[in-house]
Structure 1
Amino acid sequence: MTAMYSDRALVIGAGFAGLLAARVLSESYGDVVLVERDQLATDTGYRTGVPQAHHPHALLARGAEVLDALFPRLGTELKAAGAIQADLGSDFMSRAPAGWAPRDPIGLTVHSMTRVTLERIIRRRVLKLPNVSLVDGVTIDGLLHDRGTITGVHGRRDDTAFTDYADLVVDASGRASKLVSWLAELGVHCPAPMIVNGHLAYTSRLYHVNHDLKLDWKTAYEITHAPTTKRGGAVSSVDGGLWFVTLFGADGEVAPTDEDGFISYATTLECQDIAEVIKTATPASQIYRAANLRSRWNRFHKVPDWPRGLLALGDSVVSLNPVYGHGLTLAALNCAELRELLKDHDLAQEPLVFQRAVARTAQIPWMSATTTDLGWSEKKVSPSTRFLQWYARRLFAVIPGNPQVYRSFLRVSQMVDHPAALFRPAVLWRVLSGSRPRAKER
């Protein structure tokens, strides 16, 4: 059983990471309050605090495992809300630079839904907990501090001063977090963040499903890959009757946001099913673009005078290029680590124990995202990064027609297996030798 250390925890941000943090903290604290900038009482759709919600959000297989542990039968509830269940092998049509990936079942199942649907269902579950409450419409301006300990937050709600106190404050406010500035105001200075700019862009739109199109997949996508494949795209079935279409651009390529330009860009892809959806389906949203996508790591684990009573997780610490879909899963893993550490530690008194765990968990997804993004950079990279980029190019070259290599790649990309699995003898031999059976036509 988890110990009850103290009375009150306050979570800044009631998005995905904040909701999961509140769920975990409800086991250890008598009172947990979520403080959110957006108005949620009447919110039934997209909100300004989650600009990326207009684009697809991938919950990797490893992240789904964490959610199932925190919210039993969540998969059933998601399916009832329209989430599409799909096998990552047989239900996905994937185009790598060298050709089409195998379409064999691999036993890894994911749910495909919009961020709005996922967050709404989890919020409903969390706010049913008797010791969790929500205060929305609050803009946090800073932290309350007493002799090296964070004691609460201050800000504004409806132009009225807002102050709240807690034994533990958790920053889960995401990419827009101002925690570094708040700490600097208290005389606590953080090392400069690590930033890798992938110079990628994506442009997205929702469409109503056209049932006249007889398609044999639930998700179809084509990846970009340095240094030659600068355009890509994806279309996924989501929320029952919708398709989510996204067009990717790298190294200066950007899909237009006008109707004709959006279609024209899609027709340049090898995966013509994406263009077919755009041409024949009825739009269900505007066209949205996010550009200059980057990864940032705030190295809070290296702050020796990190104050007691303060934790940070999710995108507040490590925000990865969203093209690669690590964000939700990394936040879920942070909360799984929080749950485990609270069994043996009073993290309000030992916050660096948690921040170091967050850093360890971030290492592999950070390496994966930034190694790929650095392929578009003209800056000199380390020998280890050059080797990983070289190996990735050879791996993608043998994926078509090679189910074993593709299965290993998918399990690693879904964070189910460690990247070392891609260097096991059976995979390594095929990658280094370039051994690839003749690819079947899709």
Structure 2
Amino acid sequence: MSGDHMSLGKTVVVLGGSIAGLCAAGALAPHFDEVVVLERDSLPADAEHRRGVPQSKHPHFLLNSGRRAISALFPGFEDDLIAAGGLHLMPSMDAAYLERTGWASRKQSSMTMVYSSRVLIERVLRDKVREVSNVAIREGVSVRGIQTAAGGTAQGKVSGVVFSTAAGDEERIDADLVVDAMGRGSSVSDWLVAAGWPAAPVQALDAKVTYTSRWYDLPAPEARPTSWWWQHLVIMPTQDKGDHPPEHEFLVNFFPIEGGRTIACMGSWGIDMPRTPDDFVASAERIRTPLFAAAMAECEPISDVHLTRSTGNKWRRYDRLPEVPSGIVFIGDAICAFNPFYAQGISSAAGSALTLRSHLQAAADSGRPLDQRFFKRFLAEQRKGLKVPWSMAMARDRGYECATGTETLPAWKRKILASMTWPAFNLITGAAREDAVVDEHFARVFNLDESLGDMMRSPRVLAGLVRFKVNSLLGRNKVPFGFDPQQDPPGTDWTPGVDSQPTEMAGVR
């Protein structure tokens, strides 16, 4: 650690030892004598599920912005994740996508991703944190409250934490800084109100997303069907307005993870999902391609069916309080929780931790105290970072009739949004197939490196979209798509300039 780690104070306490809390500990360690992480669960030595992270049973995409942020906080993280079994893949070559009309064409792109289970990401991160000499993780403790002074006034400050140990003893820690990383169910907002601050306004939108997953052992590589050029299957919801089974509305992943395993996952907006192994298999057989159920049948189930439905988007707007509390920051779901479908949680938590690190560094360099101005500035900067994933989640979830919360739209607006969402998505993904610049911008938006608004303000992107639309109308598209979903996805590499175009175009619409 750098030698300046005493410059901002003696003790900082992080509430919660999951990804957000561990990332925060990495940001804090250079600037305080000791960082104490309080975690309710007993943390497993290996990559195992624990009660405090029920969503660990489902697929977790580690987006590039999150991958970079965690690697900036903990150098070597990505290499360690891959060494522990994470898979470094290029989705456009290693994933088969079933889009609106059929299978997408396979081609090379600039975007790569690391695939692994959530529990492996946490285990590698815990190992990195344990290498930092001034971070201590205390397990099996329950945080009971916070110590405060002058709550709600300009001098209002959080000054410590009260918690009980596994043995039931109550302890207190005085802290120069407290980090709330207690997730979407955090009680800190209630404790602040009890201490005299007004309730922070909350923005919320729950699109009734439910998802259900089951883990499988893949067959050995040599025993897999010859048609399996892919490692990841993605089946998008149908856009067909006619009669079809509810399963056609599902978003489906067959998601590869470490150890020769895969997670079969089905999710939906507002539809009852299967909870038993028999119902899970029966549902899989009604998905709009037979490949998902067929792939599951080649594998050995190794878990029960896991269902999650606490998936609403929720943003606690501490930045809007007339007097923001000093002595506390909020990271991860404790401040802004997202519908997990869009894979934004880990990356935005790691991004917030990186923002915290740069603000602490600036305070250390200038010798400024961690006063109310510091916390106001941090919240304002964090808000900018959270706005990008938040607006992406809103763009989709506001279109659903079943959505509830403060951010719902009047019926007429919702209908317009719902009618525009898919055509816009189809236009962008279609143009990205044929235009490297649109493809690169879309990858940046998907990875939270750019906002959708910025992408749509780029003259070059707009030109690419118009060109694609005109070519489509004239029947001049270069890359075929819409291969028959009842057949296996074709493995041909359609990258421009790669000479493997087949003459056979059967099954293309």
TM-score of Structure 1 vs Structure 2, range by shorter chain: over 0.9
CA distances 1:265-318 after superposition (whole Å, capped 9, x unpaired): 122223433212222211111110012521001001111222211111111000
- CA distance in 2 between counterparts of 1:382 and 1:192 reads 24
- The partner residue of 2:12 within 9, 32, 37 is 9
Whether 1:439 and 2:449 are equivalent positions in the alignment is no
- CA distance in 1 between counterparts of 2:410 and 2:445 reads 23
Q: Which residue of 1 aligns with 2:422?
A: 393
- What SS is found at the alignment partner of 2:196? coil
- CA distance in 2 between counterparts of 1:348 and 1:12 reads 19
Q: CA deviation at 1:407?
A: 4.9
CA distances 1:105-124 after superposition (whole Å, capped 9, x unpaired): 11211111111111011111
Q: Which residue of 1 aligns with 2:61?
A: 58
Q: CA deviation at 1:241?
A: 1.1
- Contact 1:230–1:251 (8 Å) recurs in 2: no
- CA distance in 2 between counterparts of 1:292 and 1:225 reads 24
The residue identity in structure 1 corresponding to 2:426 is A
- Contact 1:96–1:396 (8 Å) recurs in 2: no
Whether 1:287 and 2:305 are equivalent positions in the alignment is yes
Q: Which residue of 1 aligns with 2:219?
A: 210
- The partner residue of 2:370 within 348, 360, 368 is 348
Structure 2 CA distance for partners of 1:81 and 1:144, relative to 1, 3 Å? same
- CA distance in 2 between counterparts of 1:427 and 1:382 reads 33
Q: Which residue of 1 aligns with 2:139?
A: 136
- CA distance in 2 between counterparts of 1:348 and 1:209 reads 52
Gaps of 5+ in 1: none
Alignment RMSD (CA, Å):
2.5
- CA distance in 2 between counterparts of 1:280 and 1:41 reads 31
- CA distance in 2 between counterparts of 1:23 and 1:143 reads 22
- Contact 2:77–2:128 (8 Å) recurs in 1: no
- Contact 2:235–2:253 (8 Å) recurs in 1: yes
CA distances 1:200-219 after superposition (whole Å, capped 9, x unpaired): 21100110011322311121
Structure 2 CA distance for partners of 1:317 and 1:434, relative to 1, 3 Å? farther
- The partner residue of 2:464 within 390, 407, 427 is 427
Whether 1:175 and 2:193 are equivalent positions in the alignment is no
Q: TM-score, normalised by structure 1?
A: 0.92
CA distances 1:390-438 after superposition (whole Å, capped 9, x unpaired): 5532233343583435554333111233323245223331576583724
Structure 2 CA distance for partners of 1:20 and 1:220, relative to 1, 3 Å? same
The residue identity in structure 1 corresponding to 2:224 is L
In the alignment of these two chains, the number of paired residues is 441
Structure 2 CA distance for partners of 1:342 and 1:292, relative to 1, 3 Å? closer
- The partner residue of 2:172 within 163, 170, 176 is 163
CA distances 1:158-206 after superposition (whole Å, capped 9, x unpaired): 2111211110001111112111111011011223311101112110011
Percent identity, aligned pairs only?
26
Gaps of 5+ in 2: 151-155, 242-247, 403-407, 484-489, 491-509
- Contact 1:114–1:239 (8 Å) recurs in 2: yes
Q: TM-score, normalised by structure 2?
A: 0.81
- CA distance in 1 between counterparts of 2:360 and 2:31 reads 7
- CA distance in 2 between counterparts of 1:177 and 1:31 reads 23
Q: Which residue of 2 aligns with 1:314?
A: 332
Task: Within 5 Å, give how 1:228-377 maps onto structure 2.
Answer: 230-252=249-271, 254-291=272-309, 293-345=311-363, 348-349=370-371, 350-377=374-401
CA distances 1:345-366 after superposition (whole Å, capped 9, x unpaired): 3573221211222211111111
Structure 2 CA distance for partners of 1:99 and 1:291, relative to 1, 3 Å? same
Whether 1:126 and 2:145 are equivalent positions in the alignment is no
